[in-house]
Amino acid sequence: MNHPWEEIPLRPDQQMKFSTPAARSQDDLQWKDVWYRLEEGRGSINLASFEERITRTPNNAQAIPQALSLLRKADTQQKGYVTYAEFRDFYNKRLQENSWERGVLTRVALDVQDFSPSPEEEPVYNTWVDLVNYVHITPSPLDFQWHWIVPTDYDRSRLPHSCFYRSELVSPQRLREWLLTTKAADNLPNQAVIKLLEKCQSILTDADANQDGYIEYKEFLRFVSIKTSGYRGSAVLRRGVLGVLPRGERTLETRRYIEEYSCWPPPLFMLLITIAEIITFIIYVVDMQEPIEGNGPCPTYSPLVFNPRRRYEAWRYISYALIHSGWVHLVNNLLVQMVLGVLLEMVHTWRVVVIYVTGVTAGSLAHSLYTPSFFLVGASGGVYAVEYAHLGNLLMTGHMAHLAGAMTGLLIGVVMLRNLRKENWERYCWWTSLLLFIVLVTCGVLLNIFLPIPEYFPENDWSTISQNREEWMREHG
């Protein structure tokens, strides 16, 4: 279903009979016909730019300077422009019917260009037309009132098409409303929408270059015609993300975040760690020589597993993330990594690597202290760190590695992830989170090494990896 402002009938100027010289004789044109062809849409004719608006032909070579001379006479106060009332009085009271002066003005009026947009400018111009149509179809007290600057009998609908739209004025509040609520605004680059919304929040101080409190086409064009930097695929991605967002959620803050999505450099870490986990899973499925199930078996003999009796092998505090107990365990972690993790990495790049690894490490440290005699496998610590770094809230869970990963994500996420707009209170939160994280991790390391509780941890296992494997095979044979 089309929006009401997408069903705009042709304006009267689009059906004007004198749009070409052959359509109507010069003698038939009245003063208003001539005026609406000569003026620029704001109730005046600018003498400085007058000649630039006329298509020069052999037939009007002499008429152009003559018409300019006549308009200077109409400008009785020598302001540099001729108003609606001045032209009316000059044409009707000082120029005789069928005079050469009227003929000159008519001749030139027929050759005034409507300034159709160039092919490069056309998409922006069409978007501006959608904006103006929206304002006209949904009137508001915020709209510019033309009777403030032109007489009551002035009829803007008689202006040529391009002149009509280029001369329109739109209030910042109405522009913001249109950007946030209409489908047509999606045709603009996300970066351009962000800049316009930012200026709307500050009453468009910078966008409103002439400081009149309203936005005109030239100002709109200046903001929209920006060069989007970065890989082209990133722009396609942003448009796709916007396409699935409910229109009410396409706020300035959301658009700022989406603008940070980037396909270059690609999010390699999450892809590589996922591939590594899949390969490791396949290797041990083959090595265990047992049918794999949803929740097992688990190769606890692996040198990668966190074995509480081999805590002296420090790499196990991280490498356990590569091992999974059953395909359900693996798939659940991979889904979060590839969906949420990849999206975060597109925005925060290397910072996600830090969050993932610290989440894995914190998970094993907490697990070792809370359940000192249990094995630990799976990337849940890193996954929860990534997840809660994004969500920013903490749900109680039954697994200490999950909880530690979530807490790590919450704390280190505040520190590491890019804050696109930082408030003063967030600076205090940043330092608090950093210090708390350092204290917790330091305590976890020290307690794992020097916990002053006899026999709290199981005795160390000094057997070889091959001996552990043979023992596991016998138990599962």
Active-site positions read 380, 402
Q: How many residues does the chain have?
A: 477
Q: Which of 243, 289, 260, 129 is nearest to 194 (CA)?
A: 260
Residue 64: other Cβ atoms inside 10 A? 19
448/430 Cα distance (integer angstroms) = 27
In three-state form (DSSP H/G/I as H, E/B as E, the rest C), the secondary structure along the chain is CCCHHHCCCCCHHHHCCCCCHHHCCHHHCCHHHHHHHHCCCCCEEECCCCHHHECCCCCCCCHHHHHHHHHHHHCCCCCCEEEHHHHHHHHHHHCCCCCHHHHHHHHHHHCECCCCCCCCCHHHHHHHHHHHHHHHHCCCCCCCCHHHCCCCCCCHHHCCHHHHHHCCCECHHHHHHHHHHCCHHHHCCHHHHHHHHHHHHCCCCCCCCCCCCCECHHHHHHHHCCCCCCCHHHHHHHHHHHHHCCHHHCCHHHHHHHHCCCCCCCCHHHHHHHHHHHHHHHHHHHHHCCCCECCECCCCCCCCCECHHHCCCCCHHHHHHHCCCCHHHHHHHHHHHHHHHHHHHHHHCHHHHHHHHHHHHHHHHHHHHHCCCCCECCCHHHHHHHHHHHHCCCCCCCCHHHHHHHHHHHHHHHHHCCCCCCCHHHHHHHHHHHHHHHHHHHHHHHHHHHCCCCCCCCCCCCCCHHHHHHHHHHHCC
CA 353-354-356 angle, to 5 degrees, is 65
